[in-house]
Amino acid sequence: MQFLSSFLVRRILRSLFIVWLVTTATFFLVRLMPANPVDVYINQLISQYGMSKDEAYNLAASLFSIDFNQPLLVQYGNYMVNLLKGDLGNSLLSKGTTVLSIIAKFLPWTLFSVGLSLLLSFVLGTLLGMVMAYKRESWLDHALSAFASLMTSIPNYLVAILFIVFLGVQWQLVDIQAMRGSLSPGIQPSFTWAFFSDALYHAAMPILTYLVTTIGRWMLTMKSTTLATLGEDYVTVARARGLPDWQITLSYVGRNAMLPLFTLLTISLGFVVGGSLLIESYFVYQGIGFTLGEAIARRDYPVMQGVFLMITVAVVVANLLADLLYSKLDPRIRIAEEG
């Protein structure tokens, strides 16, 4: 019990330090980007509405509440004080809208699309990985291994572009234009089939992209761990005892082979929150990745910092849970930590 508490305290302190470090780096890095929100807004007013430079500057000065002429350390101090109070600030370009409300509005759509695709790819990938291991050196193993290797090596944004070009434009199998957004006009969130089916329709292409580009990793990892487990002595002893193959597969091979995958799954859950900036932008799926892309383009510092902070916390917490889970599942980790 004493070891568990000290192990937990060390991991929590390390996680808090990483969150602070990334938050600080993010604060300064976003301000190193060319042009600030005022400059971007002024240029937009001049180019789109034909305002003079003085008129655009006066309008921008009345809109933004942050003084960008303050020293960076003063801005950083104010930001950290507000952050400790749980205040992420307000959007610079959506006056009166808090960053927390923006995250709460768009985050569920990313959780739905990326979370569902992660679940599907994990289940299908582990099943196919076991099939590849049991059918090793067969034509099925070679075909599935080639597919998994190919999908793992292709960036997800490139797959998204290929889907748009071929499925949407060349073959016209899906209406990419109609699938934009997260919901159709007139559909309100509710516990109804109409809402769920419409949400699934709009998220179908991002889900398909995530599924195709992540399933290969689960397949190859599960194949590797299954092959290693099949060579263990306890599997040989189980066969010598005359246990049926299904019992050996489920109780001996499957449980032990999936141990490393649980750690990967826990870590992957942290990246679910971040979504995918490019994928959601390509399909105009209004999740947190799309929101981050809009904030970067418009230099909306508070929204950028809020989303990056949320992603950082999610990844750090997921890694912390992975450490705790793996130390619980594998006693060798606890022994090593005590040493």
276: confidence class by pLDDT, cuts 50, 70, 90: confident
Q: Select the more confidently predicted residue: 239 or 275.
A: 239
CA distance 82 to 303: 14
338: confidence class by pLDDT, cuts 50, 70, 90: low
pLDDT score at 150: 92
Q: Where would I find the H helices in the chain?
A: 2-30, 37-49, 53-63, 72-84, 99-134, 139-153, 156-162, 193-230, 233-240, 245-247, 255-257, 259-274, 277-282, 288-298, 301-329, 331-338
Q: Which two tokens stand for residue 252?
A: 């001996």
- Of the candidate CATH numbers 1.10.3720.10, 3.90.1150.10, 3.40.50.11270, 3.20.20.70, the domain formed by 99-338 belongs to 1.10.3720.10
CA distance 283 to 174: 12
Phi, psi values for residue 89, rounded to 5°: 90, -175
Per the prediction, the chain carries an average pLDDT of 83
Cα–Cα distance list, 182 to 6, 27, 28, 109, 287 (Å): 44, 30, 32, 7, 8
3-state DSSP assignment of residue 90: strand
25: confidence class by pLDDT, cuts 50, 70, 90: very high
User: Residue 130's closest CA among 314, 253, 307, 298?
Assistant: 253
Per-residue pLDDT reduced to its tens digit, 81-127: 999 998 888 887 777 789 999 999 999 999 999 989 999 999 999 99
**What is the distance of C-alpha 231 from the center of its chain?**
35
Spatial neighbors of 144 by CB under 8 A, at least 6 apart, are 128, 131, 132, 219
pLDDT score at 81: 92
Task: Give the residue extent of every domain in the chain.
Answer: 23-84, 99-338
Residues 276 and 206: beta-carbon distance below 8 Å: yes
pLDDT score at 37: 74
Model confidence at 165: pLDDT above 80:
yes
pLDDT score at 3: 47
Residues 113 and 285: beta-carbon distance below 8 Å: yes
Per-residue pLDDT reduced to its tens digit, 292-329: 988 888 888 889 999 999 988 988 888 888 777 766 66
Q: Select the more confidently predicted residue: 154 or 5.
A: 154
pLDDT score at 5: 62
pLDDT score at 326: 66
Q: Residue 267, by phi and psi: left (phi above 0), alpha (psi -120 to 50) or beta?
A: alpha
**What is the distance of C-alpha 42 from the center of its chain?**
33
Q: Which of 151-165, 167-181, 254-268 has the lowest mean pLDDT?
A: 254-268
pLDDT score at 167: 92
Percent over 70 (pLDDT), the chain: 89
What's the rounded mean pLDDT across residues 136-155?
91
pLDDT score at 285: 94
